């Protein structure tokens, strides 16, 4: 009897898997090459196109999803299965269809370099977004555009949305790599160089670490100095594990937002700085984005 039940369950799962893959999956294209004139180099990106994309003429909202330190354009797909999560939530009608774009930022923190040699943010805003939104059927306006990321990508997503509130309607940051000044100053030289030498210079010590360039990219500094009106024009969702080593910086950002009266969602949940946490919570982030991207229009 157990053997028959096992065979039945196996056949049932295979049947349902066949149905699932037959018509409700989005399409993933990995490691597409984009040539940037600003950077004078190739930038790879991967993209998720929702289930109805190839059979329709509709335009879709877009989410730009940034990876963490040492990761690449495929890591959200390979480690968090974001395409499968999106498929499942679209199928269950928890979210509307959207395009998800995942660019490779290398180890450069997705920001401009102080010497101007590698201005990634300029490339992203001036070249990459226009290219993506001309190449794919995307609703190319603020209210249909979101930015998100984890760790290094969460740091960049917050910074992009703060510096460009006219471009992004919604920002979701997972375990963002944001650090208050006191923590930056006491960080060991080895750790500081490992994380930041690619952008902020090697062997930078003491208060020299808190340079103008550092501040202009630091979401904590930006949250204090950018006008309340601009910050209020973006929907903010911040989440971090209670045992994450970046919990302190995220809690400081939360306090600044609260003290300045910036509406936001802040979620501290059980977890560490790892893929289990991000896999567990990417779905809630997609729901938050979907609810706020003004996409209850059936993507006409």
| DSSP string for 112-126 | --TTSS--HHHIIII
Looking at the domain assignment, is residue 118 inside a domain?
yes
Neighbours of 212 (CB within 10 A): 9
Query: Which segment of 22-26, 137-141, 255-259 scores lowest on mean pLDDT?
Result: 22-26
Query: Model pTM?
Result: 0.89
Q: What is the mean pLDDT of the chain?
A: 90
User: If you average pLDDT over residues 125-136, what whole number do you get?
Assistant: 98
Q: For residue 109, what are its two tokens?
A: 């923190």
Q: What is the CATH number of the domain that holds 226?
A: 3.40.50.1820
161 domain residue, yes or no = yes
Domain for residue 16, yes or no? no
Cα dist from 105 to 102, 120, 299, whole Å: 9, 8, 29
- Give the Å distances, CA to CA, from 178 to 51, 57, 101, 224, 277: 35, 40, 23, 14, 18
In a domain, 160, yes or no: yes
- Is a pLDDT exceeding 90 seen at residue 14? no
First CA to last CA across the chain, in angstroms? 52
Residue 274 in any domain: the answer is: yes
Calculate mean pLDDT across residues 105-124: 93
Residue 134 lies in a domain: yes
More confident residue, 99 or 18: 99
Q: Does the pLDDT of residue 295 top 90, yes or no?
A: no
pLDDT of residue 198: 84
Q: Could you tell me which residues come within 8 angstroms of residue 73 by beta carbon, excluding any fewer than 6 positions away?
A: 30, 31, 44, 45, 46, 67, 102, 103, 104
Q: How many domains does the chain have?
A: 1
Residue 11 falls within a domain, yes or no?
no
By residue range, what is the domain housing residue 86?
26-179+218-292
Tens digit of each residue's pLDDT (9 = 90 or more) over 82-98: 999 999 999 999 999 99
Instruction: Give pLDDT tens digits for 229-261.
Output: 999 999 999 999 999 999 999 999 999 999 999
Using the predicted structure, report yes or no on whether residue 216 has a pLDDT greater than 70. yes
Confidence label for 203 from pLDDT (cuts 50, 70 and 90): confident
171's enclosing H/E stretch is: strand 170-174
Q: What was the pLDDT predicted at 141?
A: 96
Tell me the angle at which helices 275-292 and 82-91 cross, rounded to the nearest 10 degrees: 40
Whether 155 is in a domain gets the answer yes
Check if the beta carbon of residue 179 is closer than 8 Å to that of residue 249. yes
């Amino acid at each position: 009897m157990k053997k028959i039940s096992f065979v039945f369950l196996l056949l049932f799962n295979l049947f349902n898997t066949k149905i699932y893959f037959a018509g409700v999956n989005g399409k993933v294209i990995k490691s597409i090459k984009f040539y940037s004139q600003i950077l004078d180099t190739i930038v790879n990106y991967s993209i998720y196109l929702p289930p109805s994309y190839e059979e329709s003429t509709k335009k879709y909202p877009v989410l730009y999803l940034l990876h963490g330190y040492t990761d690449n354009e495929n890591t959200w797909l390979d480690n968090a299965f974001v395409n499968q999560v999106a498929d499942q939530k679209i199928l269950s009608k928890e979210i509307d269809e959207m395009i998800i774009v995942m660019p490779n930022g290398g180890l450069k923190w997705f920001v401009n370099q102080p010497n101007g040699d590698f201005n990634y943010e300029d490339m992203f805003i001036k070249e990459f977004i226009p290219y993506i939104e001309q190449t794919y059927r995307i609703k190319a306006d603020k209210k249909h555009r979101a930015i998100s990321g984890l760790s290094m990508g969460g740091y960049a997503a917050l910074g992009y949305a703060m510096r460009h509130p006219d471009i992004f309607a919604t920002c979701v940051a997972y375990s963002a790599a944001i650090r208050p000044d006191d923590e930056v100053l006491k960080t060991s030289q080895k750790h500081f160089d490992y994380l930041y030498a690619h952008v902020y210079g090697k062997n930078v010590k003491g208060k020299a670490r808190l340079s103008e360039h550092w501040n202009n990219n630091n979401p904590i500094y930006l949250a204090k100095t950018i006008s309340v009106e601009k910050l209020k024009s973006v929907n903010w969702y911040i989440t971090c594990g209670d045992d994450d080593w970046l919990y302190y910086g995220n809690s400081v950002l939360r306090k600044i937002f609260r003290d300045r009266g910036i509406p936001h969602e802040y979620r501290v949940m059980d977890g560490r700085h790892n893929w289990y946490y991000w896999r567990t919570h990417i779905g809630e982030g997609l729901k938050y984005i979907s609810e706020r991207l003004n996409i209850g229009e059936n993507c006409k």
